[in-house]
Structure 1
Amino acid sequence: MEHRLSLNDVEWKEFFIGGNEGIFEIESTSSGIDKNKLNHEGGKVPYITRSDINNGINMFISDNQNLKYNQDDGNVITIGLDTQTVFYQQNGFYTGQNIQVLSCETLSKEVAMFIIPLLKIQMQKFNWGGNGATLTRLKRTRILLPIDKYDNPSWQFMENYIKQEQKDIAQKVIDYYEQKIIETGFDLVGLEDVEWKSFYFDEIFRKIQRGKRLKKADHIDGKTPYVSSTSLNNGVDGFIGNEDKVRKFEGNLTLANSGSVGSCFYQDYEYIASDHVTSLTLENADKYIYLFMSTIIKRLEDKYSFNREINDKRIRREKIILPIDKFGKPNWDYMSKFMQKIEAEKLDKALEYIYIYIYKLAISEELKLPLFEEKEWKEFWLEGLVEINSGKDIYARERIDGKTPYVTATASNNGVGYFVDNTNKTLEEKCISVNRNGSVGFSFYHPYKALYGNDTRKLRPRVENKWVSLFLSKSISNQKEKYGYGYKMGTGRLKRQKVMLPISETGKVDYTYMKKYMQIQEIKKQYKIINYYKNLIEELSSF
């Protein structure tokens, strides 16, 4: 198995952060730039402050103005001492806000990601009181770092460790969004919504059997496809006529165990399997089910490589996420209809992944939709679209830490302020929240069960659909600029709030348009995220 780096693999040693013996050169900047005079029109250069959000970036400014300080080149760590904020700045930036800039020749993005959590731990001892943050205290602060055989910081270990963790996280993100894009795509092609569940291979396949070894020198010319571990030609590596000491299969899947590990193909003809592939047979499945399964299984290509084969035991305990019926069993009929729909749309069947099918379908559907500026819109009273209910406060002294989202009047984290173990009459799922206080006018959709504070209003849509609710929530948020702390969004005002929505030819709200538009935008975003992280894994695999 591939060796995983562990924090226990290396020895650790304390180092000063700065000073003559420190690992960083520290440059201290001071305030002096009037932010109101900064030109940020069309700006692309970050302006760093002591903010604890957005990587410390307060705004983006143009780089052609005469500032007191030169632009920093980047590849440094910035620290706001009095706010205990620590961030890595990869690109050039400006700052004039009492920021400490830490640099060293061996710093890279991955090394910075390793060191920053260690710096943050030490920064916690700085506060606004008698033990306040100063440059001198920062320089004399020590952090523990892994060391090499010469007792120097092991920069290579830090970089490799972070790349390893980033690959794991990236793969989890890919798995998550591939699943989400599939779920959205099912709905987009007109099939009903279903739940999904994880299954082991040996729970799904009636027969899992590896092919039999057959040396190249023993091949006899013939007409029977010989399936091996190639990712080309549907896995067919040639045609042979051998009858003895071979294993024949027909109408099932082949999965490459080595070579192009994870390559999976549907074989609708009789074939001979080499010992580099495993035959996977379902019970009474049609070709569409097999095609569906093959595209899902191909995700294993990202998990395995040439130096990590899939052995027989590992195959049986691999997991696959499938749509399920009301009994919690794989919904084979659903999978078959989905693939038939794909085929009926005459999309490119050579595409490797279902999420690529769905992305192509989304682009195709988008071309059929009227543009926003071409669509007819109309104002509607909000109370005609939703049922409006008050929230109920759970005061700090009453809150019990738990897992239930508690929606407050915040503008971040989808409106969720806390996670609690409390419950009350506001507990509900598939609702929209609107902030009536605090960050007034912000609106969020909550597909999960959540509790709602009294500074929010809980809106129960009269048309219950995830994508329609997301569209409506955005339309409500578009009105937030007219509200403020002196003009709160109470229940009465909310009922008489108007929102602009697209309409059909009959003048009614065009819910179909709203739903399809949001689905397409979601698929496009998910596709972009998946490809970003696939490229990231490819880059990280080079170490």
Structure 2
Amino acid sequence: MLDTSKWKPFVLSDLFEIKKGKRLTKEDQIPGDTVFIGATALNNGITAYIGQEALHEGNTISLTYNGSVGEAFYQREPFWASDDVNVLYAKNFVLNEKLAMFFCTILRHEKQMWSYARKWNLEHMNQTIIKLPAITDEIPDFSWMESYIDTLDYDVNDIPDYFLNEGYNKACWYLDNINQNDFEENYAASHTKNNIKLTDRKWAYFELDKIVTSIQNGKSYNASDLTLAADDEYISYVTRTDANNGVSMYVQRLDYDGLEKANAITIGDTTATIFFQDHDFITGPHIIVIRADWLNVYTASFIISLLNMEKYRYPVFGRAFTKDLIKQTKLYLPITEEYKPDYDFMEAYIKSLPFSNKI
């Protein structure tokens, strides 16, 4: 346990100049390579890549004050921060990745103070007091912070981006459990060697209902009425859980009148949990099933990534992602010369990504 009894209080605005993000609606975003930081706890805060110029410098810390409050991430490269995010620029010291990791951990501990009606707005953030190791009452001990990070059994620079991009918790899990060389040798290869960029195509908006075959409610089964599978002849039971691809258990293959065939996207309407199902399945309450003739595991991965960016519109226990709203959802998609969704490009793009050979 780290002894913090001698740490000193510091006002956050004495350490950082805190700048606001700027609103940019999904409709106004154009595809590109600029990182867009939104109110999420995942993907290092990244919710999109846009064509607009970056508004904030790299080597800074992004900190959410609305939505998923108190998520602090180190941003190496220039980026655009949404209006739910403030950006911390070091004032009288030089920030680096080790110091940023230390500060991000401290800042995340503040999140419990700011939720629901009490917003961590710019005024409150400037006034926030954090405790730090210190040389004097006015001077934090930055050398100690870096040394402490060095004592941990890893090198920050050795953490692969694909774990850092999944956020703080995934990076910690990686450090504790994964041998990087073994992992990359067995899993990290792409399906193809093509270098494909999202900017290689023009894009346009399409309503989801106009590009799929069906969007329907699955037949609801209660878990208490089902029998667990005793062998490999099983059916997936898909519910609103956000774990295990939405599958809460595997059940005995019986003659269910609500049996759904594989090759479908499922959405939990009250939780906005979205997954591709590659085995036959039945559903629990509040599950929407989407089917399309162009659907496969690769195109589904592309579409699901876009649908997941809609989650902020449908908070848990708030406004549900109902069937009608799903039908009306507009997705920004790459297009062919005939102005139709380019599903071949979507598939090729997913196949070009690291880890795609294991999809």
Given the two structures, how large is their TM-score scaled by the length of structure 1?
A: 0.29
Given the two structures, how large is their TM-score scaled by the length of structure 2?
A: 0.43
The higher radius of gyration belongs to 1
Higher relative contact order (Cα pairs below 8 Å, separated by 6+ residues): 2
